[in-house]
Amino acid sequence: MRIGITCYPTFGGSGVVATELGLALAERGHCVHFISYAVPLRLTSIPPNIFFHEVQVNVYPLFQYPSYDTALSSKMVDVTLHEQLDLLHVHYAIPHATSAYLAKQILKTHGKEIKVITTLHGTDITLIGQDPNYIPSVEFGIDQSDGVTAVSDWLRTETRRIFTINREIEVIHNFIDFTRFSRKLNPLLRNRFAPNGERILIHISNFRPLKRVPEVVQIFSKVREKIPCRLLLVGDGPDRTEAEQLCRNLNLCSEVFFLGKYEAVEEILSVADVFLMPSESETFGLAALEAMACGVPVVSSDIGGLPELNIDGYSGYLCQLGNIAEYADRTLRILESDSTLDQFRVRAVNRAKEFESAHIIDKYESFYKKVLEE
């Protein structure tokens, strides 16, 4: 099968999932062509069956804003014609679904039929997609796709609540590659952050307001009142300054480590004991899944798609949004003894195995075949 994949080439979950999907499909012998304005960050090499096509957006004095969606459609047409693609799989509705629809109509004038599959990831529906300036285009792009998937049951429900969608939406959860994400013990690295055997809490995100990074610091402060611990903050974004200032105000600077954007997150996850995710919006929680695969139990909010992933009292705990005392209490329950922590570690890995990549890639392949046959 010859597949074109379009995604945002960033650290965001949609770009990560799209890239990992393309790599997995290529390993199975499919020919995968990435079409985007830059090489996806997770595409650190170009293995066999993987190709990249850059979308060039030229700046003209007449255009106040460069037209990326039009340039993307043209590139989709070019790649489809010259690489004889069977389908276009676009990740994130805005503007990829509408660009793919335009490409499909142009291709018809060339005598070429192409199927379009759109995968919804979250904020394209729950945040940007609810902007009145985008609602008609998002709704149209989804409805005109030949196949639509969502990464959680919750997102499917939200999509149907927000938009008038006439076609079926298939739920295919995010997945994890255990060849990369597994517990890799590194005593030297752990000793760097916790030289006296302190517990290590961790948070990984893009530090946007909805991730509530300052709240992570507050949770850590309460846990620290009970047991010796350290906090690792991985990522960067608009709320970093506030989180740093909070650490100074609470006199935590020597115990909180701001590590910035760290690509090899599996290494840093492997030295952690609890993953904190107090987000106010999570469609699925890919970072939590990566933590669980590395044997790190998760203490998260109980919103969005997180209850579909994190089982309360089993792989970690679910907490009421904004209840800092509850987050701290549940974290301490996990860390109360080595035996309790070990039990949560084992169960976190077992839960993550239910989202192992091979099983999920099978679902995508079956969905592709279904759409192509229709």
Report pLDDT for 130.
Answer: 77
The verdict on 306 and 341 lying in the same domain is: yes
pLDDT band at 171 (very low <50, low <70, confident <90, very high): very high
Among residues 333, 208, 219, 212, the alpha carbon closest in space to that of 280 is found at 212
Would the pTM of this model clear 0.85, i.e. be above it? yes
Tell whether 212 and 246 lie within a shared domain.
yes
Do 241 and 103 fall into the same domain? Answer: no
With a cut of 90, say whether residue 173 has pLDDT above it: yes
Summarize pLDDT for 298-356 with one digit per residue, the tens: 999 999 999 999 999 999 999 999 999 999 999 999 998 999 999 999 999 999 999 99
Give a yes or no: residue 182 inside a domain: no
Specify if 152 maps to a domain: yes
Question: Each residue of 337-366: b (16+ CB within 10 Å) or e?
Answer: eeeebeebbebbbebbeebebeebbeebee
Indicate if 343 and 214 belong to the same structural domain.
yes
Count of C-beta atoms within a 10 Å radius of residue 191: 12
Question: Are residues 347 and 360 part of one domain?
Answer: no
Q: Using one digit for the tens of pLDDT, what is the confidence trace for 92-112? A: 988 999 999 999 999 999 999
Q: What range does the domain containing 225 cover? A: 187-353
User: Is 31 inside any structural domain?
Assistant: yes
The average confidence (pLDDT) of the chain is: 93
Q: Residues 241-283: pLDDT tens digits?
A: 999 999 999 999 999 999 998 878 899 999 999 999 999 989 9
Q: What is the pLDDT of residue 11?
A: 65
For residue 361, give the H/E element and its range. helix 357-373
| Total of domains in the chain | 2
Distance CA 93, CA 97 (A): 5
Residues 228, 152 share a domain: no
Tell me: do 333 and 197 sit in the same domain.
yes
pLDDT score at 335 = 97
Task: Give the phi and the psi of residue 102 in degrees, each rounded to 5.
Answer: -60, -45
